[in-house]
């Protein structure tokens, strides 16, 4: 199938492999196909659907493609041509392509507005496309969790006139095969959690084993990352405990001692700490031993130092948050962001994930991780803002710092509706910053950028409509059930 010289067939094949979730089996073939697609000059392509699809697939692979390819679809007044407003497939592809834009590409912002406006109208006029349009608006493919997008797309593809039976069969078999692997992993994760009886010893502990694993599954789903996936799931779980220790359970005096203990990385002399902190640090020490064993196997034990150094700003920021809460301090918006981008956890999670996963990181790259790279900062910004836009009732019921939404309203003297609009525009800017870094990355930083992109996608999935990590009985439960409970039927 890859041997075709037909551009349309090649574009469609690559897109289908991605959407069906089986692209990871064909990385070399896709790389060659993308090179061929990039070599094909699209000056002679007059179909907006193909131009937009080519643009998206190339940018998806990190190619720098000029948005000027869409200029030929504008009229003499500089607006997108009126005849495009009736092309549903073309508008959908244009909308999806525009999601890979950066902050310095106004034509792609125009494309988003143009496509969305006409697709909104067509939802009523074109009932056969209503579900497809709704899905694009709900989660554009670029921003979606790869496993979840595949699970939702496979049944749609099965009903499509363009369905290729052998690809459909492979997608179903692959989904069920991966699901069986992931089920075994989450069972192992539960055994680990039960072994330490965290819920029994820590009364404030939020049991988020399934949710932590689901989040990590959105970052790596391939079988070869099984060990890394479990380690990061455990890290995620333990970071949740740390968050609750600082937010809800420790006194300021106890938290100062706890912070000092981690700053010194001393887990032997813990007699001065309350019992629940000692219990936690004992579990944490065992977890760090697991990481060390994995690093030793990879020949990257020197990465341990960087993982330790990544932990320290995380606990310092959490302590600062707790102090502000205790004295009822009202930070300004920028002051709040400086701390809350770190407490959100992504600077630690993303960079520690790379340290655990990678084998060939130079000292310069490892030092760069400690500086919080731009793409990590943008990902953290997005997570913090979407989290605050949907702060849970649980968070609001306990003594807690105001969210970024509340602080922005207070600082600017504006309504909640105006503040929501501003924060959403900041989320959009963060996405475009991530897209910019994705395109301008050095080969040595490709792995970090992919991790940051996938973690960002998960922030969208988790907080799209609610804080489904804290309150997992809605969208979170549905998504976990889709991926980890029900197999794909024939």
Model-level pTM?
0.94
Q: Which of 149, 169, 189 is the last residue of a domain?
A: 169
Q: Nearest-CA neighbor of 234 among 199, 189, 185, 194?
A: 189
Same domain? 243 vs 182: yes
Q: Judging by beta carbons within 10 Å of its beta carbon (0-12, 13-18, 19+), is residue 461 exposed, middle or buried?
A: buried
Tell whether 448 is covered by a domain: yes
Q: Which of 169, 188, 223 is the last residue of a domain?
A: 169
Tell whether 131 is covered by a domain: yes
CA separation, residue 227 to residues 181, 220, 232, 295, 386 (Å): 12, 11, 9, 11, 29
Q: What is the pLDDT of residue 392?
A: 44
Query: Following CA atoms 188, 190, 193, 196 in sequence, which dihedral angle do they give, to the nearest 10 degrees?
Result: -70
The CATH number that applies at residue 54 is: 1.50.10.130
Q: Judging by beta carbons within 10 Å of its beta carbon (0-12, 13-18, 19+), is residue 359 exposed, middle or buried?
A: exposed
Same domain? 165 vs 257: no
Same domain? 133 vs 202: no
Tell whether 490 is covered by a domain: no
Same domain? 187 vs 318: yes
Same domain? 217 vs 118: no
Q: Which of 169, 194, 219 is the last residue of a domain?
A: 169
The CATH number that applies at residue 282 is: 1.10.600.10
Please answer whether residues 480 and 213 qualify as being in contact, where contact means their C-beta atoms are separated by less than 8 angstroms: no
Same domain? 300 vs 252: yes
Tell whether 53 is covered by a domain: yes
Number of domains the chain contains = 2
DSSP for 304-344, please give it. Answer: HHHHHHHHHHHHHHHHHHHHHHHTT----HHHHHHHHHHHT
Q: Which domain holds residue 160?
A: 7-169
Same domain? 216 vs 347: yes
Residue-wise pLDDT for 360-390, tens only, equals 889 999 999 999 999 999 999 999 999 998 7
Query: Following CA atoms 184, 186, 191, 195 in sequence, which dihedral angle do they give, to the nearest 10 degrees?
Result: 150
d(CA 342, CA 335) in angstroms, rounded, equals 12
Q: What is the pLDDT of residue 281?
A: 92
Maximum Cα–Cα distance across the chain: 77
Structure tokens at 469: 């990590």
Tell whether 21 is covered by a domain: yes
d(CA 30, CA 12) in angstroms, rounded, equals 12
Same domain? 225 vs 162: no
Tell whether 1 is covered by a domain: no
d(CA 120, CA 15) in angstroms, rounded, equals 24
Query: Following CA atoms 79, 82, 87, 88 in sequence, which dihedral angle do they give, to the nearest 10 degrees?
Result: 70
Q: What is the pLDDT of residue 425?
A: 96
Tell whether 2 is covered by a domain: no
Where the chain has pLDDT below 70, the residues are 42-43, 126, 197-200, 203-205, 391-400, 468, 471-472
Tell whether 437 is covered by a domain: yes
Same domain? 257 vs 356: yes
Same domain? 186 vs 162: no
Same domain? 232 vs 155: no
**Residue 405 CB: number of other CB atoms within 10 A?**
18
Same domain? 209 vs 109: no
């Amino acid at each position: 199938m890859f041997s075709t010289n037909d551009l349309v067939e090649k574009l469609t094949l690559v897109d289908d492999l991605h959407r069906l979730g089986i692209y990871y089996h064909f990385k070399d073939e896709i790389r060659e196909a993308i090179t061929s697609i990039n070599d094909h000059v699209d000056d002679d392509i007059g179909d907006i659907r193909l131009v937009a699809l080519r643009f998206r697939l190339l940018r998806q692979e990190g190619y720098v493609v000029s948005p000027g390819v869409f200029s030929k679809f504008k009229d003499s007044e500089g607006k997108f041509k009126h005849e495009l407003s009736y092309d549903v497939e073309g508008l959908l592809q244009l909308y999806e392509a525009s999601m890979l834009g950066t902050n310095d590409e106004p034509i792609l912002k125009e494309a988003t507005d143009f496509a969305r406006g006409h697709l909104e109208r067509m939802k009523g006029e074109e009932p056969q496309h209503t579900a497809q349009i709704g899905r694009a608006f709900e989660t554009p493919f670029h921003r979606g969790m790869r496993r979840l997008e595949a699970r939702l797309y496979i049944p749609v593809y099965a009903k499509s006139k363009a369905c290729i039976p052998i690809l459909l069969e492979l997608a179903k078999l692959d989904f069920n095969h991966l699901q069986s692997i992931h089920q075994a992993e989450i069972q192992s994760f539960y055994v680990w959690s039960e072994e330490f009886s965290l819920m029994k010893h820590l009364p404030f502990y939020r049991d988020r084993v399934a949710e932590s694993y689901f989040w990590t599954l959105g970052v790596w789903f391939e079988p070869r990352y099984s060990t890394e996936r479990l380690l990061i799931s455990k890290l995620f779980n333990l970071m949740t405990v740390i968050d609750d220790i600082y937010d809800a359970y420790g006194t300021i005096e106890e938290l100062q001692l706890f912070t000092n203990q981690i700053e010194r990385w001393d887990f032997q002399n813990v007699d001065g700490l309350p019992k629940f902190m000692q219990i936690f640090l004992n579990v944490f020490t065992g977890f760090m031993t697991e990481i060390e064993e994995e690093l030793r196997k990879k020949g990257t034990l020197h990465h341990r130092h960087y993982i330790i150094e990544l932990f320290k700003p995380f606990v310092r920021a959490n302590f600062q948050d707790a102090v502000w809460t205790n004295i009822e301090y009202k930070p300004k918006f920028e002051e709040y962001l400086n701390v809350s981008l770190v407490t959100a956890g992504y600077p630690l999670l993303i960079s520690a994930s790379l340290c655990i996963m990678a084998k060939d990181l130079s000292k310069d790259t490892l030092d760069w991780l400690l500086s919080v790279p731009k793409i990590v900062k943008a990902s953290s910004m997005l997570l913090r803002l979407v989290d605050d836009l949907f702060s849970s009732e649980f968070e609001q019921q306990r003594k807690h710092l105001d969210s970024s939404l509340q602080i922005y309203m207070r600082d600017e003297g504006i309504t909640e509706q105006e503040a929501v609009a501003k924060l959403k525009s900041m989320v959009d800017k963060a996405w475009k910053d991530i897209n910019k870094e994705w395109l301008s990355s050095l080969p040595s930083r490709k792995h970090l950028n992919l991790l940051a992109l996938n973690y960002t996608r998960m922030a969208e999935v988790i907080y799209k409509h609610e804080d489904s990590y804290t309150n997992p009985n809605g969208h979170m439960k549905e998504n976990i059930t889709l991926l980890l409970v029900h197999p794909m039927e024939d």
